[in-house]
Structure 1
């Protein structure tokens, strides 16, 4: 069995008026969570997890496309691969 795990954190800059909608949309993504946000500045930190890099990249692109998002910056990415060799 081979298990992959990807996690990344993003800084999302958004229009302050759209923070709630964007936060809900990120939380609705599978493996998505808003870890912190500041409605006054329109900044939030999002954490995304996925089983593969394509899903992770698709979710990052989804966040970029949400209405009201001004910028998305990748701050951290980690990939872990765990597997068992079969005889």
Structure 2
């Protein structure tokens, strides 16, 4: 059985307001990033779901290095550990547990 680790992080990305839509499109190209909101002042809320902390820092660096990004700040970081591959399966394991109750 393989144990997995999931890192959930949120970022605030500050961009020059006139480049908001361009930067949002660039961020959406990242496989592990999802935009949860933005403001006309040029702030974008981004949530990352990655397999390890290295992917988190790499993605932050990549976003921060986009043209017209003023700053990228990590606001929240949670690590979920011990996620078993069988938890993602068809639920057969759960039926055994229910039967034992």
Unaligned runs of 5+ in 1: none
Normalised TM-score (structure 1)? 0.88
Task: Quote the Cα distance in structure 1 between the aligned partners of 2:25 and 2:42.
Answer: 14
More strand by share: 1
Any idea what SS the aligned residue of 2:13 has? strand
Q: 1:83 to 1:45 in 2, by over 3 A?
A: closer
Q: Which residue of 2 aligns with 1:45?
A: 45
| Alpha-carbon shift at residue 81 of structure 1 (Å) | 1.0
Higher mean displacement: 75-84 or 56-65: 75-84
**1:15 is aligned to 2:16:** yes
| Alpha-carbon shift at residue 83 of structure 1 (Å) | 5.2
More helix by share: 2
Task: Quote the Cα distance in structure 2 between the aligned partners of 1:73 and 1:11.
Answer: 5
Unaligned runs of 5+ in 2: 85-101
| Alpha-carbon shift at residue 18 of structure 1 (Å) | 1.1
| Alpha-carbon shift at residue 17 of structure 1 (Å) | 1.3
Tell which structure's C-alpha radius of gyration is larger. Answer: 2
Q: Report how many aligned residue pairs link the two structures.
A: 83
Moved beyond 3 Å, runs of 4+: none
